[in-house]
């Protein structure tokens, strides 16, 4: 799989395009959230790649991408710059951006600062802010979010909650897969990124988002409350919303057909 030099790290990405090779097609860039990587989106590829060039990019230090060491200082501006440099490296003028969880507010900030690089924006379980109520959820029984990550490790953090049905082999298999994927990221990378999270707040940027926007909103998420999802739809011009019930914050692996159909409808409506 390919990677490109993006600033001071090598950015790993996966690319799929099942469209007719003689046609020019739009590109969809999928940006995962905290601790995850492009593999989380594998079941979105078949329906999307029939129509678009689909690129799944691993964030700095996540999955197959290299990191910049334990002293790297994360910032929203840095996350945006990493994406812009990635687009430049692939010679992509503009893409349909899909951002999940932390990738959502990153996409909002990108749309506000570089609207010319986006043809559309899709926010998947994207929080408006990661303030104290969210931090309380993220840190659990530990004094803060970085300490939770350091004590549990990436794989331990993502698998700390009990299984809904310990006797379900599919649930156990999914849990072990998640552990393995999170452990591909060094703990200091997640600790560093976690220190940025209390400072993330993109609400004031919403009116500046001028690209067509789709909000795929969880009906019940402690990280992205539905009230904030509705506020996003109300304050972003030309935004639409689809609420996904029954799966909580991480609904996207369980609803690939519905989510990708919503994205395809939006893109097709742009003409």
* 150 is a domain residue: no
Residue 24 structural domain: 3-137+199-269
Q: How many domains does the chain have?
A: 1
In a domain, 169, yes or no: no
- pLDDT tens for each residue of 78-97: 999 999 999 999 999 999 99
- Report if residue 154 sits inside a domain: no
- pTM attached to this predicted model: 0.96
| pLDDT for the residue numbered 147 | 98
Query: What pLDDT is stored for residue 247 in this prediction?
Result: 87
**Structural domain includes residue 156:** no
Q: Residue 245 — very low, low, confident or very high, per pLDDT cuts 50/70/90?
A: very high
Per-residue pLDDT, 53: 98
Q: What average pLDDT does this structure show over 122-148?
A: 96
Alpha-helix runs per DSSP H in the chain: 45-49, 76-89, 103-113, 132-139, 145-158, 169-182, 187-196, 226-235, 256-269
Tell me, yes or no, whether 34 lies in a domain.
Answer: yes
Please state, in angstroms and rounded to a whole number, the distance separating the CA atoms of residues 104 and 176: 26
Q: Is residue 184 part of a domain?
A: no
Write down the pLDDT at residue 1.
65
Residue 153 belongs to some domain of the structure:
no
Asked if residue 187 has pLDDT above 90, the reply is: yes
**Nearest CA among 105, 4, 112 for reference residue 60:** 4
Any idea which of 65-69, 80-84, 162-166, 174-178 has the lowest mean pLDDT?
162-166
* pLDDT-derived band at 45, boundaries 50, 70, 90: very high
| Arithmetic mean of pLDDT over the chain | 96
Q: Predicted confidence band at 192 (pLDDT cuts at 50, 70, 90)?
A: very high
CATH classification at residue 10? 3.40.50.1820
Is the pLDDT at 167 greater than 90? The verdict is: no
User: Is the residue at 188 inside a domain?
Assistant: no
């Amino acid at each position: 799989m390919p990677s490109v030099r993006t600033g001071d790290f090598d950015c790993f990405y996966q690319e799929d395009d099942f469209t007719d090779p003689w046609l020019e097609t739009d590109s969809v860039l999928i940006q995962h959230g905290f601790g995850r990587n492009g593999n989380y989106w594998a079941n979105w590829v078949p329906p999307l790649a029939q129509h678009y060039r689909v690129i799944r990019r691993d964030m700095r230090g996540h999955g197959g991408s290299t990191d910049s060491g334990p002293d790297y200082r994360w910032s929203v501006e840095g996350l945006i710059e990493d994406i812009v440099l990635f687009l430049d490296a692939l010679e992509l003028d503009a893409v349909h951006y899909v951002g999940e969880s932390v990738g959502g507010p990153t996409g909002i900030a990108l749309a506000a600062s570089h609207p010319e690089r986006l043809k559309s924006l899709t926010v998947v379980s994207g929080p408006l802010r990661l303030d104290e109520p969210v931090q309380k959820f993220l840190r659990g029984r530990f004094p803060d979010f970085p300490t939770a990550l350091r004590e549990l490790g990436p794989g331990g953090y993502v698998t700390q909650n009990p299984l809904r049905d310990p006797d379900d082999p599919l649930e156990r298999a999914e849990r072990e897969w998640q552990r393995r994927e999170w452990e591909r990221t060094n703990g200091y990378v997640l600790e560093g990124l976690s220190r940025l999270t209390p400072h993330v707040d993109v609400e004031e940027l919403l009116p500046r988002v001028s690209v067509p926007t789709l909000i795929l909103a969880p009906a019940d998420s402690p990280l992205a409350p539905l009230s904030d999802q509705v506020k996003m739809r109300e304050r972003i011009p030309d935004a639409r919303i689809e609420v996904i019930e029954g799966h909580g914050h991480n609904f996207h692996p369980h609803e690939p057909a519905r989510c990708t159909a919503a994205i395809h409808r939006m893109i097709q409506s742009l003409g």
